[in-house]
Structure 1
Amino acid sequence: MSQPIRLVIHITTLPGRGKDQIAAFERTAPLVRAEEGCLQYDMHQVCDAPDRFVLIERWSSEEALAAHDVSPHMVEADAAATAFRAGPATVVQLVSEPLA
């Protein structure tokens, strides 16, 4: 059985376009949270930085994450995001358990 996958994703939008990122997340989040294997999918805005966000994801397995990445709603969301994002998101995968 594979270990849960934990991701921290840093997103920066073009200046003044943070509201577009929020709207896109609000449309997509219910679909993602309904995916098999999704354990967490939460976005937070960075304090005093309205165009910067951190997305926290947890998936039950590599297989669940792989299926998420090619789901129709994510393919569509990723294509639409190019209109308001400053560049590609930075994805950081964490080890499965916190350090002591």
Structure 2
Amino acid sequence: MSEPVVLVATMVAKPGQEELVEKTFKEALPAVHAEPGCLLYALHRKAGTTGEFVMIEKWASQDALSAHMKGAAMREIGVALAQALAGPPDALFLDAIPVGAPESGAI
């Protein structure tokens, strides 16, 4: 069995595009949550900012993440935000170091 994949993606909206970025991700969330292998897909905003967004993701496997990246929801997000982001998302992959209870010791 493969290990879950945890990804933190940070995106910065161009000035004036903050509402579009937030709206696009909010609208995509239900479809992404329904994708096979999606364990967590949670939108956040960097505290104290209006245009810095952080998506915390957990996928059952690398295959599930790869399918997500090629899926309809990501294509729609890409089209909607093609001109709205200041640059490409910054993706940070994490390796868990589980400590304590499984439900509180790792994402």
Instruction: Write the distance in 1 (CA, Å) between the matches of 2:61 and 2:38.
Output: 9
1:53 to partner: Cα distance: 0.9
Structure 1 runs of 4+ aligned residues shifted over 4 Å read none
* Residue number in structure 2 paired with 1:64: 64
TM-score (norm 1): 0.92
SS class of match (1:30): helix
**How many residues are treated as equivalent by the alignment?**
100
Match of residue 6 from structure 1: 6
Deviation at 1:80, TM superposition (A): 1.9
Structure 1: which 5+ runs fail to align?
none
| Range 84-93 or range 13-22, more displaced | 13-22
After TM superposition, the score normalised by the length of structure 2 is 0.87
Q: Say yes or no: does 1:19 pair with 2:15.
A: no
RMSD across aligned C-alpha pairs, in angstroms?
1.5
Higher strand share: 1
- Gaps of at least 5 residues in structure 2 are 101-107
Q: Which has the higher contact order (CA 8 A, sep 6+)?
A: 1
